[in-house]
Amino acid sequence: MVSRPSETALRETVEAWIADDPDPRSRGELQELVARLPDEAALGALADRFSGTLQFGTAGLRGPLRAGPNGMNRAVVGRAAAGLARYLDDVGAEGPVVIGYDARHGSREFALDTAQIVAGTGRTALLMPRELPTPVLAYAVGALDAAAGVMVTASHNPPQDNGYKVYLGGPLGLNAQIVPPADAEISDRIAAISSLADVPRSDDYRQVDEAIYDQFLQAAADAVAAESPREVSVVSTALHGVGGETLQAAFERAGFRAPTPVTHQQRPNPEFPGLAFPNPEEPGVMDDVLALAVSQGADLAVANDPDADRCAVAAPMREGWRPLRGDELGVLLADHLMRRGERGTYATTIVSSSMLGALCERRGVPYAATLTGFKWIVRAFEQTGQPLRFGYEEAIGYAVDPASVNDKDGISAALVAAGLAATLKAEGSSIQARLDELYAELGTYLTAQISVRVEDLSIIAGTMARLRAEPPSRLRDWQVVTDDLQERTDAIIIRGDGVRVVVRPSGTEPKLKAYLEVVQPPSGDVVADADAAAARMQQLRAAVQQLVT
């Protein structure tokens, strides 16, 4: 039972927040809970909403839509916008702030609040013309010489969430997502906002001309080689997100036939009906587009996540139609670009397959393995001295044209994947056949992932602490050593002969993740190698499952 003094203190904190909250709906949500005190359920709900502040980090903000400092709402977003604006002023960043939004609940309101607050500082605020994919906003940051960009989206999170992603423009931020120390410096300025009511606002913001969307489509189309084949049959799903129209338009602009969409998932719907987690990586999420591919006799199936910065691809494989693993598509796209003669740095992350490194070594191409996230991939040139030409992460994110979009882009990635499929089809080959050729050359690299979703984040911290204090010396029959990356990031790498495991907390969800890799040397029989790799992966998975749970 909560004591009266604690209840009184909580009530005072809540009422102070209500007085500064610009949104009548969230004020009403809190007032209703306050009116129910000392009811235990109301007390618990208020304590949860005021247990802390939704933290601003390199991923910006992301959390459940609810009132109070520990949720996504107009008061929290307003403070974030004011803190960002102060940061830009303090570092002398020149240029406008461009603001985009998707079709989730609250997205347009959050974008409008941001535009008003940025305009209130005297800086030009540019609001994207309508709900659009994240890659369009990322493109606009560079194309409009912006000091910063804001994208209101929770990407592939559940329907009840929303988020706030920040890009920094020009030499300050490379038109990419923020990295330390900018995140902490922005967070400090957010914390210094004592009263949102005192933050000036202005309606003198401008709407970005629709021409920016046309420019993005052209840049995406140009990512496909002009002379490459275009004869390929594609089906697609937008998963009720904002990518459907853009994907269709981009395919037509690039000279492909527009994909046949999963009709009931094509238009934006913030409820994401039938999809508890609208992420193409989740089991069952691509079932409808796979069924459509089979019925249409398609060559390729494409699924974008709700803000279309990620791209999943499925194709007819040896075992039938299935989604490609992110690492499989990443290596295929890299190989395709290399075969086109595209030079520069090819990069992935420490949790992705090491096969890209082997491919780059064989082809004599600069390679970098970075920390997790595209904010680091786009800075891979710092390791090699060569501009980034291609980057990918195993979580189905691909940068096939970083000169235009210095972030993952599910639209241009889908186009280049279609170009790859069309080229292989014209050669009488296939996705599976090209993968087999690469496996025969480099060995079979098989990757998998274990995700442990938790309600209590302390479980993740406890597991990481245990693994650091007592690192394993064996995993089944493998002798292993452990590398602790704590000085760089919260991750450990466990290595053995032909096996590798990376364990880290998720940066965007309440999950502990283990990334597994098995490498089977080539024997001359790729089917036998695949079977051997699968058997070893099954053993590794069982050992790691026991280790992290």
Give the chain's length: 549
Domain boundaries, given as residue ranges, for the chain? 1-51, 56-208, 214-441, 444-548
Give percent helix, percent strand, percent coil of the chain, each to the nearest 5: 40, 20, 40
Q: Output the pTM of the full model.
A: 0.95
One fold for 56-208 and 214-441: yes
Note the pLDDT of residue 387: 98
- Count of C-beta atoms within a 10 Å radius of residue 490: 16
User: Is the separation of the CB atoms in 370 and 380 below 8 Å?
Assistant: yes
Note the pLDDT of residue 240: 98
pLDDT in tens, 291-301: 999 999 999 99
Given 155, 233, 353, 404, which residue is catalytic? 155
Note the pLDDT of residue 78: 98
User: How would you classify residue 4: left for phi > 0, otherwise alpha for psi between -120 and 50, otherwise beta?
Assistant: alpha
**Alpha carbon distance 63, 60 (integer Å):** 10
User: Is the separation of the CB atoms in 72 and 81 below 8 Å?
Assistant: no
Structurally, what CATH architecture does the domain formed by 56-208 represent?
Answer: 3-Layer(aba) Sandwich (3.40)
Kindly report the backbone phi and psi dihedral angles of residue 153, in degrees, each rounded to the nearest multiple of 5, phi listed first: -165, 150
- Angle formed at CA 407 by CA 64 and CA 134, multiple of 5 degrees: 45
pLDDT in tens, 328-338: 999 999 999 99
User: Is residue 405 classed as helix, strand or coil in its secondary structure?
Assistant: coil
Note the pLDDT of residue 2: 37
Kindly report the backbone phi and psi dihedral angles of residue 70, in degrees, each rounded to the nearest multiple of 5, phi listed first: -105, 40
Q: Which residues, including other chains, have CB under 8 Å from residue 487's CB and lie 6 or more apart?
A: none
Query: What are 9's two structure tokens?
Result: 């203190």
Note the pLDDT of residue 5: 39
Q: Which residues of the chain have pLDDT under 50?
A: 1-5
Is 155 catalytic? The answer is yes
Structurally, what CATH architecture does the domain formed by 214-441 represent?
Answer: 3-Layer(aba) Sandwich (3.40)
Note the pLDDT of residue 3: 41
**Alpha carbon distance 161, 182 (integer Å):** 24
Burial 42-74 (b: 16+ CB within 10 A, else e): ebebbbebbeebbebebbbbbbbbbbbbbbbbb
Note the pLDDT of residue 195: 95
| CATH class of residue range 444-548 | alpha beta
Note the pLDDT of residue 6: 79
